[in-house]
Structure 1
Amino acid sequence: MQNQQGQMHQNMHTGAVPPQMNHGGHEVFDVHEVLSGAISTMDQYMMVRQYVKDPELLDILDRQYQFMQDEYNITVECFTTGQDPSKRTQSYKMKQGNDFVYGLQPSQPKKPAQSPTELTDACISGIMLGSAKSGASMKTMAACEVTNPVVRRVLADSVPNCIEMAYELSIYQNQHHYYQVPQLAQQDMQQLLNAYAPAQGMPQANNMNMNTNMNMPH
């Protein structure tokens, strides 16, 4: 045991770290949080599945669950071994178009469900949407802390998939009037759209400051 610890201590100083130990402290904690969050999301999908009424939403739920499960397994594998996973990462593809319906229509105020039987497709798709958004944020933060190049790539590749899932769910909600999208008045919108201009050229050094610094006594 002492020899193993001594060898590992020597490896740490020479840079010859075994692949499965090629992880920083912050990375380990953050990846644990990502994997725990993935399990929580899949558990939520499993629990609400029985209450889904719309076949379209059920199809979205099953496709997203299967994709998340594969992505979870890939992340666990590369995190455990520190090496390339046996299966390549994939890109999630949604089926819907990307046209949003803008404007507000009268609707009943929302309130929490009092029992599982009150869970509607609007509520379930909202739960799924919240999980996808949370996953995107969590994986982005974790990827910035990762030292292992394989794990960093897998997490970074996963972020666009979370965004795509969230986008798919927001479009589903919008098309069913669960998620309404207001717009600004046309005049306000136009002013804000034109509030920024392109940047040009490179920043120039301040010659006055440079000359002043050169003439200062040492």
Structure 2
Amino acid sequence: MPFGAHEALEVHEVLTAKVCMIDHFLQYEMQASDPTLKDLIRRHRNSALRNYNELVSYTHDYTGVVPNEVQFSQVASPDTIQYGLRNPAPVTPIGAPTTQLYDEQICRAVLHSHKNSAKNNMAASLECADPYLRQMLMNTANTANYNAYEVFEYMNARGLYQVPTMRDHTAKTMLHSYQPF
């Protein structure tokens, strides 16, 4: 079963990015100092490896696992999120070569890797005619989304990702302007 041009090109881009993510996550895991962060990165790397291997397998013989929609049972409660800015530390580039990253840099890199993976896999899925390939890419996008949220929770709990807020009446005024039809 041949793939269409869009499918082949999109999957090539997704796989190239996934290889980069897997390689970088190994480096991040080795450099992280917090054991919880190391474990999180290890689990996310293993997840990326599974996604990569499933996609490669399917593109080689078209008999890979028939994907079902991914279901995640872990749902965070809004009560666990810390809202508001609490004197956020300034963020600037390092500006000089370094051989060691610190945990906050690693968290930001892992978070952005997942966000980009979610966007890129969902966009790639929209170009696929093959329903199994399409579902695999959507599953990978959903997995990246959930992994990004786990990194956000880790960072938010440590004050590394603060959630700006607006006055309650401003948010309500804006959102309540939409009415049921």
Q: What RMSD in Å do the two structures reach over aligned CA positions?
A: 2.0
Do the aligned partners of residues 39 and 89 (structure 1) sit closer, same or farther apart at CA in structure 2, a change above 3 Å counting? farther
For residue 95 of structure 1, report the CA deviation from its aligned partner. 6.9
Following TM superposition, where does structure 1 have runs of at least 4 consecutive aligned residues deviating by more than 6 angstroms? none
CA contact under 8 A between 1:27 and 1:142: conserved in structure 2?
Answer: yes
CA contact under 8 A between 2:18 and 2:48: conserved in structure 1?
Answer: yes
| Aligned counterparts of 1:148 and 1:90: Cα–Cα separation in 2 | 15
Structure number, greater radius of gyration: 1
Do the aligned partners of residues 94 and 53 (structure 1) sit closer, same or farther apart at CA in structure 2, a change above 3 Å counting? farther
| Aligned counterparts of 1:101 and 1:48: Cα–Cα separation in 2 | 26
Structure 1 counterpart of 2:61, from 65, 68, 81 = 81
Spell out the pairing of 1:1-218 with structure 2 (5 A cutoff).
19=1, 21=2, 23-83=3-63, 85-86=64-65, 91=70, 97-98=76-77, 99-113=80-94, 114=96, 115-117=98-100, 119-199=101-181
Q: TM-score, normalised by structure 1?
A: 0.75
| Aligned counterparts of 1:120 and 1:87: Cα–Cα separation in 2 | 40
What count of residue pairs does the alignment treat as equivalent? 177
| Aligned counterparts of 2:111 and 2:124: Cα–Cα separation in 1 | 20
CA contact under 8 A between 1:41 and 1:131: conserved in structure 2?
Answer: yes
Q: TM-score, normalised by structure 2?
A: 0.89
- The amino acid of 2:36's aligned partner reads E
Uncovered stretches (5+) of structure 2, i.e. residues with no partner:
none
Q: Residues 19-74 of structure 1: CA distance to partner in whole angstroms, max 9, x if unpaired?
A: 2x2x1001100000000010111111011222101111111101111111011100
| Aligned counterparts of 2:105 and 2:68: Cα–Cα separation in 1 | 30
CA contact under 8 A between 2:152 and 2:161: conserved in structure 1?
Answer: yes
CA contact under 8 A between 2:33 and 2:103: conserved in structure 1?
Answer: yes
Do the aligned partners of residues 71 and 96 (structure 1) sit closer, same or farther apart at CA in structure 2, a change above 3 Å counting? same
Percent sequence identity over aligned pairs: 26
For residue 107 of structure 1, report the CA deviation from its aligned partner. 3.4
